């Protein structure tokens, strides 16, 4: 009986929900902020404002952000009302070690910060997901074998409430 209780305690301790608090956005940029508020919330970053039709509908972006030994373009994507709903990281350059190494490095950093992912799928398209009360974090790698290439992306997005699904 003692072994079963110890095992149950270990499982609860290692649970992703216990690993970290909900980020509520990405760093100082929180869900629902306007582009101007994002600019104020990230004074140390080179945040730029954009016309809405540019940069994947992002109203703000960081042209070059260093993470996991690589440079990323960071896009702040608003909802229809202009409030932050998603932050997307897109690699600007491939590291010397390649995209597989970058994907693994990002995965390790996310596990270190947020604990084990809640969901994972591994095929030609690999997707790893962390889910919190208001935030979903998705790290993905897509391999296009016909062209011998692959893509890596990291996305923080505001989680839909159950009311939004009705």
160 pLDDT band, cuts 50/70/90, is confident
Residue 11 confidence (pLDDT) above 70:
no
- Measured at the CA of 126, the angle between CA 16 and CA 135, to 5 degrees, comes to 40
99 pLDDT band, cuts 50/70/90, is confident
Task: Please tell me the predicted confidence (pLDDT) of residue 155.
Answer: 97
Q: Lowest-pLDDT range, 12-21, 60-69, 123-132?
A: 12-21
Q: Lowest-pLDDT range, 102-106, 113-117, 121-125, 153-157?
A: 121-125
Q: Domain limits of the chain? A: 2-165
Q: For 51-65, what is the mean pLDDT?
A: 73
Phi-psi region of 99 (alpha: psi -120 to 50; beta: other; left: phi over 0): alpha
Q: Lowest-pLDDT range, 7-21, 40-54, 86-100?
A: 7-21
Q: Please check whether residue 130 is in contact with residue 149, taking contact to mean a CB–CB distance below 8 angstroms.
A: no
Q: Please check whether residue 46 is in contact with residue 68, taking contact to mean a CB–CB distance below 8 angstroms.
A: no
**Residue from 25, 40, 26 nearest 159 by CA:** 25
Q: For 82-93, what is the mean pLDDT?
A: 92
Q: Lowest-pLDDT range, 2-6, 17-21, 29-33, 149-153?
A: 2-6
How far is 75 from 154, CA to CA, in rounded Å? 11
Distance of CA 43 to the CA centre of its chain: 21
Task: Please tell me the predicted confidence (pLDDT) of residue 16.
Answer: 43
Q: For 118-122, what is the mean pLDDT?
A: 78
- Measured at the CA of 154, the angle between CA 35 and CA 129, to 5 degrees, comes to 115
**Residue from 59, 25, 19 nearest 156 by CA:** 25
Residue 18 confidence (pLDDT) above 60:
no
pTM of the model: 0.79
142 pLDDT band, cuts 50/70/90, is confident
Sign of the CA dihedral with 33 first, then 89, 161, and 133 last: negative
């Amino acid at each position: 009986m003692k072994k079963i209780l110890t095992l149950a305690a270990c499982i609860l301790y290692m649970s992703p929900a216990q690993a970290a608090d909900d980020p509520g956005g990405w760093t100082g940029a929180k869900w629902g902020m306007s582009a101007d508020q994002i600019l104020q919330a990230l004074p140390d970053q080179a945040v730029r404002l954009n016309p809405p039709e540019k940069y994947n509908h992002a109203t703000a972006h960081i042209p070059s952000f260093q993470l996991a030994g690589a440079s990323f373009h960071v896009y702040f994507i608003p909802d229809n009302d202009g409030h932050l709903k998603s932050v997307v990281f897109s690699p600007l350059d491939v590291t010397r070690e390649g995209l597989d190494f970058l994907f693994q490095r990002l995965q390790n950093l996310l596990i270190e910060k947020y604990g084990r992912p809640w969901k994972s799928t591994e095929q030609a398209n690999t997707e790893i997901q962390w889910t919190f009360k208001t935030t979903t974090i998705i790290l993905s790698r897509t391999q296009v074998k016909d062209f011998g290439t692959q893509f890596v992306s990291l996305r923080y997005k505001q989680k839909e409430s159950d009311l939004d699904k009705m």
